[in-house]
């Protein structure tokens, strides 16, 4: 047995050493859209390939104990040949740990019905522990989370901000927009913040990402949905963890669509109208109806305050009338690059907490109390609010 393992290890190392041109996984994997019964895993290989994920229960067995369930990266029934892979894992159990391994098999050519394959790259489950994640659980008694926003490619600040909020012991991590300033190519995502998030947490903890107005800019911006929420039909989404239901909105751009800055390429007024129609359906979700707390996460604070631009005004026009009927406890925003607090008003019957670009918002439930606070990297708490459960 020991000899077999040694031979296997030597073969693995020899293959690694000699295959300098072998296919490699160059970014990721990272987790997207982890809910109670599904999760999506995304990664990039350096050569066109087909991709798949092996999924195993976290039951103490070695990963090699048996053939593991395989989920393929497919599009309309065909394995996708691509450098970018996104595999949706379905049929998962709530509140359950899973282990996984990803694969990319190089596609050398595809002519007619003949496909020629090259080498295979995979994450290591021999010398390392398999990667893990945990599904959401609406029956969990309590939850907590952290949120950062407006990083604008200052990737070196991400670790201090998350560490200040003890992110390794938090249930959920949210990025609330403007993680980069413009997206002209794929490299901008990974260099600006995504590789750093993968190194810190995103291989094993979902990166719940609410788009900001800056991710809408640049020639690669239309590709955003291939990297974030890649197996969903849109970027806005809901989720439930423990007693909290989260409504994650996409507030779009801040200026009018016909502003010179957008060169006639945007259509966010119609996009927000379409999103508002979707928002009206959220109240029908049983997980929404039974949630003790209801939190909205949105990049731009919605408002008609004097001096406010078109985007936040259009959001207020379209989303507030719906949200005001939904028993929302609080809305969490960024965008302003400063801390701000909006009391409930005539236009929104819930408060809005705005987190600055140097603050980490921490949320925790304890029985009938929801505590939210913003902490700067120097440890100073600049905003602290405690809300009592309405339900
Ligand atoms: Fe912004």
> What is the pLDDT, as a whole number, of residue 17?
47
**In whole angstroms, how far apart are CA 129 and each of 41, 80, 103, 156?**
17, 28, 16, 27
Residues with Cβ within 8 Å of residue 83, at least 6 apart in sequence: 44, 45, 46, 47, 48, 49
DSSP code per residue over 202-224: ITTS-EEE---SGGG-STTGGGH
User: Do 211 and 344 sit in the same domain of this protein?
Assistant: yes
Q: Specify if 206 maps to a domain.
A: yes
Ligand 1: centre distance to CA 224 (Å) = 16
Q: Write out the residue range of the structural domain in which residue 380 sits.
A: 144-388
Ligand 1: centre distance to CA 174 (Å) = 15
Ligand 1: centre distance to CA 160 (Å) = 21
Q: Specify if 10 maps to a domain.
A: no
User: Do 375 and 287 sit in the same domain of this protein?
Assistant: yes
Ligand 1: centre distance to CA 303 (Å) = 14
DSSP code per residue over 264-294: T---HHHHHHHHHHHHHHGGG-HHHHT-SEE
User: Do 162 and 225 sit in the same domain of this protein?
Assistant: yes
Q: What is the CATH number of the domain that holds 176?
A: 3.60.21.10
Write the pLDDT tens digit of every residue in 316-370. Answer: 999 999 999 999 999 999 999 999 999 999 899 999 999 999 999 999 999 999 9
368: alpha, beta or left? (left if phi > 0; alpha if psi -120 to 50) = alpha
Give the count of beta carbons closer than 10 Å to the beta carbon of residue 40.
22
Ligand 1: centre distance to CA 279 (Å) = 22
Ligand 1: centre distance to CA 294 (Å) = 23
CB-facing half-sphere around the CA of 33: CA atoms within 13 A: 24
Burial (CB < 10 A; 0-12, 13-18, 19+), residue 26, is middle
Q: Specify if 3 maps to a domain.
A: no
Ligand 1: centre distance to CA 242 (Å) = 29
Cis upstream peptide for 29 (omega within 30°): yes
Ligand 1: centre distance to CA 335 (Å) = 4
Ligand 1: centre distance to CA 291 (Å) = 29
- Domain edge (last residue) among 134, 162, 187: 134
- Domain edge (last residue) among 134, 154, 185: 134
Burial (CB < 10 A; 0-12, 13-18, 19+), residue 3, is exposed
User: Do 96 and 121 sit in the same domain of this protein?
Assistant: yes
For every residue of 294-331, which 3-state class applies, written as one string? EEEECCCCCCCCCCCCHHHHHHHHHHHHHHCCCCCCEE
Rg of the chain's alpha carbons, rounded to an integer?
A: 22
Among 170, 161, 220, CA closest to 190: 220
Give the count of beta carbons closer than 10 Å to the beta carbon of residue 124.
12
Tokens representing residue 89 in the block: 């894992």
pLDDT tens digit at each of 391 positions of the chain: 555 565 555 555 555 544 558 999 999 999 999 999 999 999 999 999 999 999 999 999 999 999 999 999 999 999 999 999 999 999 999 999 999 999 999 999 999 999 999 999 999 999 999 999 999 999 999 999 999 999 999 999 999 999 999 999 999 999 999 999 999 999 999 999 999 999 999 999 999 999 999 999 999 999 999 999 999 989 999 999 999 999 999 999 999 998 898 888 889 999 999 999 999 999 999 999 999 999 999 999 999 998 999 999 999 999 999 999 999 999 999 999 999 999 999 899 999 999 999 999 999 999 999 999 999 988 899 999 999 999 8
Q: What angle do CA 358, 243, 332 make, to 5 degrees?
A: 25
Q: How far apart are CA 209 and CA 131, in angstroms?
A: 21
Ligand 1: centre distance to CA 276 (Å) = 20
> In angstroms, how far is CA 312 from the centroid of its own chain?
23
For residue 207, list its beta bridge partners.
173
User: Do 129 and 152 sit in the same domain of this protein?
Assistant: no
User: Do 120 and 168 sit in the same domain of this protein?
Assistant: no
Burial (CB < 10 A; 0-12, 13-18, 19+), residue 79, is middle
User: Do 42 and 157 sit in the same domain of this protein?
Assistant: no
DSSP code per residue over 328-375: --EEEE-SSSS-EEE---SS-SS-EEE--TTEEEEEEEETTEEEEEEE
Q: How far apart are CA 317 and CA 280, in angstroms?
A: 14
Ligand 1: centre distance to CA 315 (Å) = 14
Ligand 1: centre distance to CA 181 (Å) = 9
Locate tokens 């959220």: which residue? Answer: 282
Q: How far apart are CA 175 and CA 360, in angstroms?
A: 10
Ligand 1: centre distance to CA 1 (Å) = 58
Ligand 1: centre distance to CA 243 (Å) = 29
Q: Specify if 9 maps to a domain.
A: no
The answer to whether residues 171 and 205 touch, using CB atoms and an 8 Å cutoff, is no
Domains held by the chain: number: 2
Residues with CB under 5 A from ligand 1 (ion): 178, 212-213, 335
Ligand 1: centre distance to CA 178 (Å) = 5
Ligand 1: centre distance to CA 211 (Å) = 9
Ligand 1: centre distance to CA 215 (Å) = 9
User: Do 230 and 281 sit in the same domain of this protein?
Assistant: yes
Burial (CB < 10 A; 0-12, 13-18, 19+), residue 211, is buried
Write the pLDDT tens digit of every residue in 66-75. Answer: 999 999 999 9
Q: How far apart are CA 295 and CA 176, in angstroms?
A: 13
Report yes or no on whether pTM surpasses 0.85: yes
Q: Specify if 11 maps to a domain.
A: no
Ligand 1: centre distance to CA 249 (Å) = 14
Q: Specify if 377 maps to a domain.
A: yes
């Amino acid at each position: 047995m020991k000899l077999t393992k040694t031979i296997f290890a030597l073969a693995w190392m020899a293959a690694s050493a000699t295959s300098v041109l072998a296919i490699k996984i160059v970014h990721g994997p990272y987790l997207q859209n982890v809910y109670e019964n599904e999760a999506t895993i995304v990664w990039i290989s350096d050569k066109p390939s087909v991709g798949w994920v092996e999924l195993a229960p976290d039951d103490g067995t070695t990963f090699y104990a048996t053939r593991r369930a395989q989920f393929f990266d497919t599009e309309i029934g065909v394995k996708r040949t691509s450098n970018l892979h996104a595999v949706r894992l379905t049929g998962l159990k709530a509140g359950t740990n899973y282990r996984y391994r990803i694969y990319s098999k190089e596609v050398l050519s595809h002519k007619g019905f003949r496909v020629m394959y090259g080498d295979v790259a995979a994450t290591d489950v021999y010398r390392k522990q398999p990667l893990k994640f945990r599904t959401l659980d609406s029956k969990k008694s309590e939850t907590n989370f952290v949120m950062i926003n407006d990083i604008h490619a200052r990737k070196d600040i991400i670790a201090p901000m998350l560490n200040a909020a003890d992110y390794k012991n938090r249930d959920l991590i949210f990025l609330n927009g403007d993680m980069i300033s413009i997206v002209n190519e794929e490299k901008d995502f990974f260099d600006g913040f995504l590789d750093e998030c993968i190194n810190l947490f995103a291989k094993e903890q979902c990166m719940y990402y609410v788009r900001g107005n800056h991710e809408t800019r640049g020639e690669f911006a239309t590709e955003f949905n291939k990297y974030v929420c890649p197996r969903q039909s849109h970027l806005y989404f809901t989720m439930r963890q423990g007693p909290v239901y989260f409504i994650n909105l996409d507030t779009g751009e801040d200026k009018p669509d016909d502003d010179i800055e957008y060169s006639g390429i945007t259509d966010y007024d119609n996009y927000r109208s379409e999103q508002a129609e979707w928002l009206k359906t959220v109240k029908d979700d049983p997980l929404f109806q039974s949630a003790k707390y209801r939190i909205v996460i949105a990049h731009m604070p919605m408002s008609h305050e004097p001096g406010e631009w078109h985007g936040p005004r259009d959001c207020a026009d379209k989303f507030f009338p719906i949200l005001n009927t939904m028993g929302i406890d609080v809305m969490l925003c960024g965008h302003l690059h400063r801390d701000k607090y909006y009391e409930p008003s005539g236009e929104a019957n819930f408060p809005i907490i705005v987190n600055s670009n140097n603050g980490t918002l921490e949320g925790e439930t304890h029985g009938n109390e929801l505590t939210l606070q913003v902490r700067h990297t120097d440890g100073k708490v600049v905003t602290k609010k405690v809300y009592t459960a309405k339900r």
